[in-house]
């Protein structure tokens, strides 16, 4: 658990420009009280149930279990409205923003998944939405840009630097500094200054809360032997691990190795990262010796981030969680493997979690839960290319 300054061990905190202090302080002072209000919980639970479609199933994957000689269950976050876990957090934050009296929402997005989840809840609540997105990402992710526009959001291109996610984040922060009173910034993962990592983890914790009850019902034991989740910033993993942090369950965080850890084209932050500050928190990040951020690379846009949330940096640093890195190629193979064995096309991010089954060992009566963070519709063009190559 985070301390009152926002630290997990030596990671976390709130390293922000003076101009953001009031916004972040307001959020820090009020998020826990608002989240514990009965009316807040009631409204959130109802929306998660009727709008998002929760609880998501915990599915026993029989053919996958036979292949790997284990009892493998999939937590089906791919079945959520908008196709991934990100909506759990945006529903929570929009309700919080309303209670803070905010009239306008801003967000950053890389591949567009968080932008779509944010634009969706803004449409739902009738609130103005501005999404910052790198100019290059706007070109690469045209369908999600169209979705956001159809939902009524304004998509603003970030044209500085590498014109990708970190530049979009910088633009969003600049906007927030200029509009401190009426605007709430919805961050899409367990990153950013305190209280964001803790707040987003709490909104995603519904994943492991449901898992406990579902495992108890299906296996007679609420604790599995292993939980596996992919990590970009780390929000789906934080949600899947949350209620198991103080148990004996093995927690496995799967990162994107891109073309290989030593290839110079990678996003395996726990291996390549060193301690530093990125987007307001002290964590592990990929940087040059003089502190310039190294551009990350992964075939999956959701894992293509140069840092990792401070919670995960701490879990890995203390040995509570294991990190495994998976290359583009291994993830693509795993996506086809899951599709052919279970009839489920996973998001490329989630496919990294499945590929880790090739790299771990266990006992054959072990129960393994894999968090299936999202569905693969958005990655179809990448999958089509793979079929043409083979
Ligand atoms: C965004 C995304 C991720 C990575 O983000 P986390 O915060 O690490 O969960 C993983 N899977 C899917 C499907 C995503 O859309």
| 18 Cα: distance to centroid of ligand 1 (angstroms) | 30
The string of pLDDT tens digits covering residues 32-57 is 999 999 999 999 999 999 999 999 99
What pLDDT is attached to residue 304? Answer: 87
Q: What is the mean pLDDT of residues 17-41?
A: 96
Closest to 80 in 3D by CA, of 235, 220, 225, 219: 235
Say how far apart CA 93 and CA 122 lie, in whole Å. Answer: 10
- The ligand 1 atom at the shortest distance from the C-alpha of residue 191 is 7
Q: Using CA atoms of 254, 44, 25, 177 in order, give the dihedral in degrees to the nearest 10.
A: 80
Pocket test for ligand 1, best of 84, 207, 268 (most atoms within 8 A of CB): 84
pLDDT band at 254 (very low <50, low <70, confident <90, very high): very high
CATH number for the region 53-84+205-389 comes to 3.40.50.1100
- The ligand 1 atom at the shortest distance from the C-alpha of residue 374 is 13
For residue 125 the two structure tokens come to: 């609540």
The string of pLDDT tens digits covering residues 126-165 is 999 999 999 988 988 899 999 999 999 999 999 998 888 8
Residue 309 near residue 278, CB atoms below 8 Å: no
Among all residues, which ones are annotated catalytic? 86, 108, 373
pLDDT band at 305 (very low <50, low <70, confident <90, very high): confident
Give 43: exposed, middle or buried? Use CB within 10 Å, 0-12, 13-18, 19+. Answer: middle
Q: Domain 15-47+86-199 maps to which CATH number in 3.40.50.980, 3.90.380.10, 3.40.50.1100, 3.40.50.620?
A: 3.40.50.1100
pTM of this structure: 0.97
CATH topology agreement for domains 15-47+86-199 and 53-84+205-389: yes
For residue 31 the two structure tokens come to: 């998020």
- For residue 334 and ligand 1, the question of a CB distance below 6 A is answered with no
The string of pLDDT tens digits covering residues 365-389 is 999 999 999 999 999 999 999 999 9
Q: Domain segments of the chain: what residues?
A: 15-47+86-199, 53-84+205-389
Mean pLDDT over the full length of the chain: 96
What pLDDT is attached to residue 164? Answer: 84
- Nearest alpha carbon, ligand 1 atom 13: 374
């Amino acid at each position: 658990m985070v301390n009152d300054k926002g630290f997990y061990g030596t990671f976390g905190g709130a390293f922000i420009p003076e101009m953001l202090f009031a916004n972040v302080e307001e959020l820090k002072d009020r998020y826990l009280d608002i989240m514990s209000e009965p009316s807040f919980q009631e409204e959130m639970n109802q929306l998660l149930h009727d709008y998002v479609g929760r609880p998501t199933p915990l599915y026993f994957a029989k053919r996958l279990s036979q292949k790997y000689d284990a009892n493998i269950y999939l937590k089906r976050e791919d079945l959520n409205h908008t196709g991934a876990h990100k909506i759990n957090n945006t529903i929570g934050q929009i309700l919080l923003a309303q209670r803070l009296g905010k009239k306008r929402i801003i967000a950053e997005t890389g591949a567009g998944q968080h932008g779509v989840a944010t634009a969706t809840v803004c449409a739902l609540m009738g609130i103005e939405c501005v999404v910052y997105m790198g100019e290059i990402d706007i070109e690469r992710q045209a369908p999600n840009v169209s979705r956001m526009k159809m939902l009524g959001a304004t998509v603003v291109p970030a044209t500085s630097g590498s014109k990708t996610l970190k530049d979009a984040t910088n633009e969003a922060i600049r906007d927030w500094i200029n509009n401190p009173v009426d605007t709430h910034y919805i961050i899409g993962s367990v990153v950013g200054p305190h209280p964001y990592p803790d707040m987003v983890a709490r909104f995603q914790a519904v994943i492991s809360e449901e898992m406990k009850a579902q495992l108890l019902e299906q296996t007679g034991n609420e604790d599995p032997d292993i939980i596996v989740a992919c990590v970009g910033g780390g929000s789906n993993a934080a949600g899947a691990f949350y209620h198991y942090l103080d148990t004996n369950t093995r927690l496995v965080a799967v990162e994107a190795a891109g073309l290989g850890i030593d290839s110079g084209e990678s996003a395996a932050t726990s291996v390549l990262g060193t301690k530093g500050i990125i987007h307001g928190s002290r964590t592990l990040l990929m940087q040059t010796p003089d502190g310039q951020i190294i551009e990350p690379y992964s075939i999956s846009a959701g894992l293509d981030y140069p840092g990792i949330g401070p919670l995960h940096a701490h879990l890995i640093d203390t040995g509570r969680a294991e990190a495994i890195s998976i290359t583009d190629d291994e993830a693509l193979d795993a996506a086809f493997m899951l599709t052919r064995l279970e009839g489920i096309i996973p998001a490329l991010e989630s496919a990294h979690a499945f590929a880790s089954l090739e790299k771990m060992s266990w006992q054959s009566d072990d129960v393994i839960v894999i968090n299936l963070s999202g569905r693969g519709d958005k990655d179809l063009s990448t999958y089509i290319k793979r079929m043409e190559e083979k």
